[in-house]
A and B are shown apart, each in its own frame.
Chain A
């Protein structure tokens, strides 16, 4: 056991205090709450049985108002049970030397008349089919509702609980357009990785994956995109299963929803040698879509110059708005904090726009980087009028040093 392999310069004393604080905090949790009795009862009782006696023992005393926690747990268990059988077969196939990755193609016609090509990969005796059920694109995102179907693998009700109960499938996916541009999967509609979740009684896992938005020029005409999933991993309570490798691909058409594009003529501002200048804002249309974001939202192009050539581009692009934790209203947590009136509180995702393809780890000799700051958390709004944009600091890391360049940079943006 050692604790010296992570070096934290100038912080050994702080590390010691963190140990003490965590120890103190953890001790607020009693060392025993009769877990043994409760686990015995749960293992002895049939799953799904919620007799009053069992309920009374398992949930002593009042829980939160509304009993939501109980409902959440019950729903989770039911969903996990439904998916259990599939997971066992899945994992068994995945570990063997079977015939997986034997893929064929099938053409599907969507309800809207568009045609898509779906690869069907056989995992021994189970077909895993990936398809795009719905798609949406605007200046802030391209959202897909992805379905992974496993015909014939529906768990029969009453199947015993197994040790592998997936509630999620994790996808490693990218989008390509016909020009060969690559769009990475940035988050699901709640900010996490793309996860597909089983629905009770079905043999289809569905979920929403959100990808980096199409460029400005592609928002005015229908686009043919190809979804490529390199592997699918089932998440169980005991960890992640070995991934089922594709490649699963499906091609589909999406008609982008064009909004407004406003090019700014705003003077740059400099603090500490770092110059910021808002260049453009793409405002998504105020239309209701399936992915939970709602309508609206913005993509702001922001030029940052005066950076050292070896500055970490990813660090500069690591931007957040004011964090809405109870800690405070402006926790920076080592990030640049950007506030746009009218969209607070909202998370943003910063993309190093001109490094979009090269994925360069550093800013480069120009010392300039253009970020696309995209508001990603619902509820989004369609902004109008003049709005104030404030960037409190720029976080950077170069020459092995890390630290903020303080601002603030403040701009008034005319949004029409």
Chain B
């Protein structure tokens, strides 16, 4: 079975009931889904579940997808909605949220596991001090993001990780452009306040981190 050449072909296959069409979309956008969900929840396990749910939801919703539009923004809207629903469910059940993880749960979720081979391999190759430093950085970024509201976090992730414009963010978050703009603005300022006050050293770290082309445009 040949690999679909582009999203449109993959979607057409899905609409014909060919699961290989979905498989192609998953291979193409798995990293997007996982990493966006992780940014929105700060929880690896939850991010995995959200990614799976999102692909299934997208598959089932494809008959209503406007084929003249790009698939990725539509799909990221599903990921964002699914993450929002999962966070809300978790908050309602008082079981887990970005801000309510117990120390033990938090540590468990941050430890590299056997099924995170890349991360485990990278960390195993590090000096203990460097590994601890990296984890400290990760925790600090996660906690700074946790200080934002869900909506601010969504807007900040879409702008500063996926590089979307206000208009595109508004489309994905299903809100007015001005609302999207305010969420980005408020989220960035909230993040700045937290980082400058609690984790100012992160700014030095950030200065040494190259920004790579992982943005949404790369695969659209």
Report which A residues bind B (CB closer than 8 A). Answer: 1-3, 5-8, 11, 14-36, 38-40, 42-43, 60-61, 63-65, 68-69, 72-73, 76, 161-164, 167-168, 190, 192, 235, 237-240, 323-328, 331-334
Q: Given A29-B38, A30-B34, A163-B64, does the pair A6, B161 have CB atoms closer than 8 Å?
A: no
Interface pair B91/A190, CB less than 8 Å apart: yes
Considering only residues 60-94 of chain B, those with a C-beta below 8 Å from chain A are: 60-64, 77-78, 81-82, 85, 88-93
Interface pair A35/B51, CB less than 8 Å apart: yes
A22 is contacted by which of B22, B39, B58, B118 (Cβ under 8 Å)? Answer: B39
Q: CA–CA, A383 to B51, complex, Å? A: 46
Interface pair B34/A333, CB less than 8 Å apart: no
Q: Given A25-B142, A326-B143, does the pair A17, B203 have CB atoms closer than 8 Å?
A: yes
Q: CA–CA, A23 to B39, complex, Å? A: 10
Q: CA–CA, A8 to B193, complex, Å? A: 13
Q: Given A24-B141, A27-B35, A28-B138, does the pair A331, B30 have CB atoms closer than 8 Å?
A: no
Note all chain B residues with C-beta closer than 8 A to A333: 147-148, 190, 193-194
Interface pair A32/B31, CB less than 8 Å apart: yes
A35 is contacted by which of B38, B48, B198 (Cβ under 8 Å)? Answer: B48
Closest to B207 in A: A17
Note all chain A residues with C-beta closer than 8 A to B56: 39, 42-43
Q: CA–CA, A325 to B140, complex, Å? A: 12
Q: CA–CA, A239 to B79, complex, Å? A: 10
Interface pair A15/B188, CB less than 8 Å apart: yes
Considering only residues 119-134 of chain B, those with a C-beta below 8 Å from chain A are: 119
Q: Which of B47, B104, B194 has the most CB of A within 10 A?
A: B194
Interface pair A6/B181, CB less than 8 Å apart: yes
CB of B3 within 8 Å of the partner chain: no
15 contacts between A and B (CB under 8 A): A14-B203, A19-B211, A31-B31, A32-B34, A36-B30, A43-B19, A65-B104, A190-B92, A237-B54, A237-B61, A237-B85, A238-B64, A238-B78, A327-B147, A334-B189
Interface pair A19/B160, CB less than 8 Å apart: yes
Interface pair A6/B143, CB less than 8 Å apart: no
CB of B105 within 8 Å of the partner chain: yes
Q: CA–CA, A323 to B63, complex, Å? A: 43
Q: CA–CA, A76 to B46, complex, Å? A: 14
Interface pair A327/B144, CB less than 8 Å apart: yes
Note all chain B residues with C-beta closer than 8 A to A334: 186, 189-190, 193
Q: Knowing that A8-B189, A42-B52, A72-B93 are A-B contacts, what are 8 other residue pairs whose CB atoms are under 8 Å apart, sorted by A's residue number? A: A1-B164, A3-B163, A15-B160, A23-B209, A38-B52, A167-B89, A235-B85, A327-B198
Count how many chain B residues have C-beta atoms less than 8 Å from C-beta atoms of the other chain: 111
Interface pair B207/A23, CB less than 8 Å apart: no
Interface pair A29/B47, CB less than 8 Å apart: yes
Interface pair A72/B95, CB less than 8 Å apart: yes
Q: CA–CA, A39 to B55, complex, Å? A: 7
Q: CA–CA, A21 to B138, complex, Å? A: 9
Interface pair B116/A35, CB less than 8 Å apart: no
A286 CB to closest chain B CB (Å) equals 22
Q: Which of A2, A23, A332 has the most CB of B within 10 A?
A: A23
CB of B7 within 8 Å of the partner chain: no
Q: CA–CA, A19 to B160, complex, Å? A: 5
CB of B44 within 8 Å of the partner chain: yes
A28 is contacted by which of B54, B119, B146, B189 (Cβ under 8 Å)? Answer: B119
Interface pair B192/A35, CB less than 8 Å apart: no
Note all chain B residues with C-beta closer than 8 A to A11: 188-189, 192
Interface pair A35/B26, CB less than 8 Å apart: yes
Considering only residues 187-213 of chain B, those with a C-beta below 8 Å from chain A are: 188-194, 197-198, 202-203, 205-207, 209-212
Q: CA–CA, A34 to B26, complex, Å? A: 10
Note all chain A residues with C-beta closer than 8 A to B23: 36, 40
Q: Given A43-B19, A331-B147, does the pair A5, B39 have CB atoms closer than 8 Å?
A: no
Note all chain B residues with C-beta closer than 8 A to A18: 156, 160, 188, 191, 206
Note all chain B residues with C-beta closer than 8 A to A162: 60
Q: CA–CA, A237 to B143, complex, Å? A: 27
Interface pair B209/A20, CB less than 8 Å apart: yes
Note all chain B residues with C-beta closer than 8 A to A6: 159, 166, 181, 184-185, 188
Closest to B36 in A: A26
Interface pair B44/A29, CB less than 8 Å apart: yes
Q: Mark B16-44, 1 if CB is under 8 A from A, else 0.
A: 00010011001100110111111100001
Interface pair B38/A26, CB less than 8 Å apart: yes
CB of B1 within 8 Å of the partner chain: no
Note all chain B residues with C-beta closer than 8 A to A239: 77-78, 81, 174
Q: CA–CA, A323 to B148, complex, Å? A: 11
Q: CA–CA, A30 to B137, complex, Å? A: 17
Closest to A28 in B: B138
Interface pair B45/A167, CB less than 8 Å apart: no
Note all chain A residues with C-beta closer than 8 A to B78: 237-239
Note all chain A residues with C-beta closer than 8 A to B91: 190, 192
Interface pair B165/A5, CB less than 8 Å apart: yes
Q: CA–CA, A16 to B211, complex, Å? A: 8
Note all chain A residues with C-beta closer than 8 A to B114: 61
Closest to A164 in B: B61
Interface pair B115/A60, CB less than 8 Å apart: yes
A18 CB to closest chain B CB (Å) equals 5
